[in-house]
């Protein structure tokens, strides 16, 4: 029997996952990548002896990666070496007010007790609920294709949903357990990965706290791109043909069926089915005839997008002190920052920011005696990001970083590259220059997300952070699996 030929657009986590699952199930698969290297937002680049991960830098939910590779009889250690970070990260509340988050749970509880008496016992209660949500949410709910409400109507599942605080906000939920502002901000931090403030994220996502505190923060030796390298090796082992510098210009559709994909070069690639792992809005509004679009421009404009980011990749010619691998700077009030990211289309006056120094853990990512420094400011999508504005914010956060860490850094920067909204648009066709996809608000969860199947084209599917289950690296891995499973089911 002739194998069906699947064309997958985009070699990010979701695209690679979908392609490999299909290839392992007897499909012929061609994966088309716009850029000259794999990974999408998880690409890497090297300069001046430094190697920088361009996007994701947090390795949470190790069981999801284990589950992914186990589908193919493999394990993560076949492709990369993991290191558990201890401390997991540092939270900077202000000058001389820094909290290291230990990997050991008892040590962590002791630190919370010093901030708020009784917080250790409350953490046990909080994590017990979070563990239940994680087990049901990550290992069941997020693996549903969310194409019909009927997927969620079993009595057992309805009981699970009611127990998981879907209709309560994360902000309300956290305050039932803790009173100290420092602890509240710490517990609300993980939902920032989901693209909204704790006031607008369902308390279901306290499962992220379980991932953080119980499962730990890890790092793959040589950088996050090693995951992509492993996935590429596995995909090719299964027979996936990956083509780089192969940007898609149009998905050609006849009578409701995608027939082929036309590249910018003019070349056409035949397809029995297409899975779009590229930006959903870009595919929906620019790669297909408008008569086949799933959603109107008005629909897209009303979506609550996760933030964009201003990133700085810095090579520093000395070793840095008083910093950890991961550092969260909460030294400014959250209110104005949150408004700037999630509500008002403007640049914040006092941004929160994140600093990553992977060379503290890994001497392969920087020359000897030097540091690899990655800075990130979360920002509202669709802002104009001129070089003057980027430089202004570089100095704002470097002033704070130097003051709090007690050292001169700027004069030791020998390599500097910035990256923001316009770059996300150029490199990934990212809608409104978003960095993380669609925010996981209640009204944008499960069946309320953009569908993984085109409603008018019988063989066109979508995967990635703008469809189910949502933003983040583990959800993207799952997204590729879910869409591949739907394709296989419909073609069996």
Topology classification of domain 109-215 = Guanine Nucleotide Dissociation Inhibitor; domain 1 (1.10.405)
Phi, psi (deg, nearest 5) at residue 371: -130, 145
The pLDDT value recorded for residue 336 is 47
Chain center to CA of 196: 13
The pLDDT value recorded for residue 332 is 87
The pLDDT value recorded for residue 349 is 87
Query: 73-77, 289-293, 316-320, 339-343 — which is least confidently predicted?
Result: 339-343
Nearest to 240 by CA among 8, 478, 58: 8
Range list of H helices, 80-118? 105-115
The pLDDT value recorded for residue 162 is 64
User: Average pLDDT in the 437-445 region?
Assistant: 91
pLDDT in tens, 395-406: 999 999 999 999
255 token code pair: 């009578």
CA distance 402 to 397: 9
The pLDDT value recorded for residue 197 is 85
pLDDT in tens, 243-279: 999 999 999 999 999 999 999 999 999 999 999 999 9
Q: Residue 214 half-sphere exposure, CB side, CA atoms within 13 Å?
A: 18
296 token code pair: 């109107």
CA distance 203 to 230: 34
pLDDT in tens, 198-220: 998 999 999 999 999 999 999 99
Q: What H or E segment, with its residue span, contains residue 176?
A: none
pLDDT in tens, 321-345: 999 999 999 998 765 445 556 556 7
CA distance 351 to 229: 34
Class of domain 304-428: alpha beta
CB atoms within 10 A of CB 233: 13
How many residues comprise the chain? 492
Using a 10 angstrom Cβ sphere, with 0-12 exposed, 13-18 middle and 19 or more buried, the burial of residue 405 is: middle
Q: Architecture of domain 5-81+222-303+439-490 in CATH?
A: 3-Layer(bba) Sandwich (3.50)
The pLDDT value recorded for residue 111 is 98
Q: What percent of the chain has pLDDT over 90?
A: 85
- Same CATH fold, 109-215 and 5-81+222-303+439-490? no
Q: Tell me the domain boundaries of the chain.
A: 5-81+222-303+439-490, 109-215, 304-428
Asked whether the predicted pLDDT for residue 388 surpasses 60, the reply is yes
List beta partners, residue 374: 313, 356
Lookup result for tokens 């509202």 = 380
Across the beta sheet with 5-9, the strand order is 241-243, 28-32, 5-9, 273-276, 460-462
CA distance 95 to 404: 5
CA distance 413 to 416: 7
Q: What percent of the chain has pLDDT over 70?
A: 96
């Amino acid at each position: 029997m002739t194998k069906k030929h699947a064309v997958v657009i985009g070699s990010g986590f979701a695209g690679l996952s979908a392609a490999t699952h299909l290839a392992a199930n007897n499909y012929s698969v061609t994966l088309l990548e716009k850029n000259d290297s794999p990974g999408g937002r998880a690409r890497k680049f090297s300069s001046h002896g430094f190697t920088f991960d361009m996007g994701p830098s947090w390795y949470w939910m190790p069981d999801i990666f284990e589950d992914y590779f186990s589908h193919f009889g493999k394990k993560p250690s076949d492709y990369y070496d993991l290191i558990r970070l201890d401390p997991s990260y540092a939270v900077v509340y202000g000058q001389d007010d820094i909290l290291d988050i230990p990997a050991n749970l008892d040590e962590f509880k002791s630190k919370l007790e010093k901030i708020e008496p009784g917080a250790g016992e409350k953490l046990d209660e909080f994590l017990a609920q979070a563990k239940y949500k994680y087990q049901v949410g990550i290992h069941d709910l997020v693996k549903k294709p969310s194409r019909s409400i009927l997927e969620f109507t079993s009595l057992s599942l309805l009981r699970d949903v009611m127990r998981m605080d879907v209709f309560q906000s994360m902000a309300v939920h956290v305050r039932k357990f803790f009173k100290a502002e420092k602890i509240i901000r710490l517990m609300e931090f993980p939902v920032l990965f989901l693209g909204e403030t704790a006031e607008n994220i369902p308390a279901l996502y306290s499962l992220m706290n379980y991932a953080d505190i119980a499962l730990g923060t890890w790092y793959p030796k040589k950088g996050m791109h090693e995951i992509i390298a492993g996935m590429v090796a596995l995909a090719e082992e299964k027979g996936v043909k990956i083509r780089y510098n192969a940007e898609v210009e149009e998905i050609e559709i006849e009578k409701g069926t995608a027939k082929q994909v036309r590249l910018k070069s003019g070349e056409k690639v035949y397809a029995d089915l297409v899975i779009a792992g590229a930006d959903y809005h870009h595919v929906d509004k620019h790669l297909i005839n408008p008569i086949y679009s799933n959603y109107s421009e008005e629909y897209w404009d009303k979506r609550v997008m996760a933030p964009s980011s201003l990133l700085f990749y810095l090579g520093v010619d000395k070793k840095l002190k008083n910093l950890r691998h991961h550092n969260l700077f909460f030294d400014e009030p959250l209110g104005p920052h949150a408004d700037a990211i999630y509500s008002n289309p403007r640049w914040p006056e006092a941004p929160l920011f994140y600093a990553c120094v992977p060379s503290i853990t890994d001497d392969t990512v920087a020359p000897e005696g030097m540091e690899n420094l990655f800075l990130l400011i979360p920002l509202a999508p669709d802002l104009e990001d001129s070089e003057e504005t980027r430089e202004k914010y570089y100095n704002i956060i470097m002033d704070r970083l130097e003051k709090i860490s007690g050292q001169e850094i700027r004069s030791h920067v020998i390599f500097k590259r910035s990256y923001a909204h316009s770059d996300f648009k150029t490199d990934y066709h990212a809608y409104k220059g978003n960095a993380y996809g669609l925010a996981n608000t209640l009204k944008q969860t499960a069946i309320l997300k953009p569908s993984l199947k085109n409603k008018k084209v019988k063989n066109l599917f979508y995967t990635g952070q703008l469809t189910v289950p949502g933003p983040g690296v583990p959800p993207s891995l799952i997204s590729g699996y879910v869409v591949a499973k739907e394709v296989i089911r419909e073609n069996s």
